[in-house]
Amino acid sequence: GSVLEIRNLHVSIEDKEILKGVDLTIKGGEFHAIMGPNGTGKSTLASAIMGHPKYEVTEGTITLDGEDVLEMEVDERARAGLFLAMQYPSEISGVTTSDFLRSAINARREEGNEVSLMKFIKELDKDLDYLEIDGSMATRYLNEGFSGGEKKRNEILQLMQLKPEIAILDEIDSGLDIDALKVVSKGINKMRGENFGCLIITHYQRLLNYITPDYVHVMMQGRVVKSGGPELAKRLEAEGYDWIKEELGIED
């Protein structure tokens, strides 16, 4: 499995410092969850890892198996095995879901070793079935006119198809009804294995009833302020974040 290592990461947006020294290591085989109040920098962390141009890294390092991720272009990060499911997936008009997936899969393969159309369709059908997605979605333009739930299922479809080394899933549970939540969780759980590490960003513990993380981290004011096991998420659900603020002497 791969190792994503984040050290003392500071990130600014338009000269405002949002992340103030984040340390986090995610290894293949591990599921990590990041929880935290709104506006504490969770999505900023995800965007910085994937190289969104608006997010400026002012200090610290991100490496994947020792390679400097911050030196990589966005597409290089994906080819290196990083994957981001965004909180708000964007629509891509003129590109069908199927075409998008096939070129993304092939972008991670050597030239001359592209996936055959037959094999691609077979694997795609299998995953569409597994995620209970209507087959017609594959021929629709990516995310265009998709409902919130369809977008999230589609992100998991991409995850299953692309088989990244390390995935960051930003609020993959937001806006899902219970059936969709179960399907999405089922897809993420199916990825479990030595060659897959995952960072699950969520505001609520609900998703973690279906996906048991190995580690839970709490982010506040741009830092990971507390880490623990699954029991930490349960306590947050029951008691909120105030006790952590008190424990650490954090002011609002």
**How far is 245 from 129, CA to CA, in rounded Å?**
44
**How far is 215 from 200, CA to CA, in rounded Å?**
10
Q: Looking at beta carbons, which pairs linking 116-125 to residues 24 or more positions away fall under 8 Å?
A: 123/161, 124/98, 124/161
Q: Considering only residues 32, 42, 223, 226, which one is a binding residue for ligand ADP as defined by CB under 6 A? A: 42
Instruction: Note whether 26 and 79 are within 8 A (CB).
Output: no
The one of Mg ion, ligand ADP, none whose footprint includes residue 143, by CB under 5 to 8 A per kind, is: none
Kind and range of the H or E run holding 56: strand 55-64
Q: Would you count residue 149 as binding Mg ion (CB under 5 A)?
A: no
Site string for ligand ADP, 107-146 (x = CB under 6 A): ----------------------------------------
Q: Which is nearer to Mg ion, 42 or 153 (CB)?
A: 42
Q: Considering only residues 15, 38, 90, 238, which one is a binding residue for ligand ADP as defined by CB under 6 A? A: 38
Chain positions 44 to 83 lying near ligand ADP, rule: CB under 6 A, are: 44, 54
**How far is 12 from 210, CA to CA, in rounded Å?**
34
**How far is 190 from 31, CA to CA, in rounded Å?**
12
Q: Considering only residues 39, 175, 228, 229, which one is a binding residue for ligand ADP as defined by CB under 6 A? A: 39
Q: Which is nearer to Mg ion, 63 or 106 (CB)?
A: 63
Shortest Å distance, C-beta 86 to ligand ADP: 11
